[in-house]
Amino acid sequence: MSVESRIFEICTAFFFLCAIVYGVLSHEVVGIACLTLTGGLSLIIGTYFRFVSRRLEGRPEDNPDAEVSDGAGDMGFFSPGSYWPIGLAAGATMVAVSIAYFMVWAIVISVVVLLFMIGGLLFEYHLPPSH
């Protein structure tokens, strides 16, 4: 995960540099705070990736001399045909619209629908087969 941590470290430096330049040119407190907090969040993610990369064995992405064939192989299991992501998107949309219009009854219903869809996606292959 060295590549990912390097990307976030570069983003962190960019955001802090932008905050300094923005502060010098505009003297606006809100923009300076937003850019500084963005740099801080990027620093947190980059630091996390740096700590995780120390515990993992080297990946082909981290080796500059790696070949494309070094990354070949099984990448994991991906569901060939699942309808749960569509329901998950619909549930998330319902939550967002309910919050936007602040309809408390709709927020409650949409959160229940969203949790049901998350559970369905999570346990899709962990349920016993139906006969």
Note the pLDDT tens digit of each residue in 21-72: 999 999 899 999 999 999 999 999 999 999 988 888 777 777 888 888 887 8
The reply to whether 18 and 56 lie within a common domain is yes
- 37 — phi, psi (to 5°)? -65, -35
Q: Is 18 a domain residue?
A: yes
- pLDDT, position 66: 82
Q: What is the CA radius of gyration of the chain?
A: 22
User: What was the pLDDT predicted at 127?
Assistant: 66
| pTM, to two decimals | 0.56
53 found inside a domain: yes
Q: Exposure of 38 by Cβ count < 10 A (0-12 exposed, 13-18 middle, 19+ buried)?
A: middle
Both structure tokens of 83: 């309808």
Residue 78: inside a domain: no
- Average pLDDT in the 95-104 region? 97
Say if 57 falls within a structural domain: yes
Domain range for 41 = 2-64
Average pLDDT rounded to a whole number, residues 5-34: 96
Closest by CA to 119, choosing from 82, 76, 84, is 84
Q: How many domains does the chain fold into?
A: 2
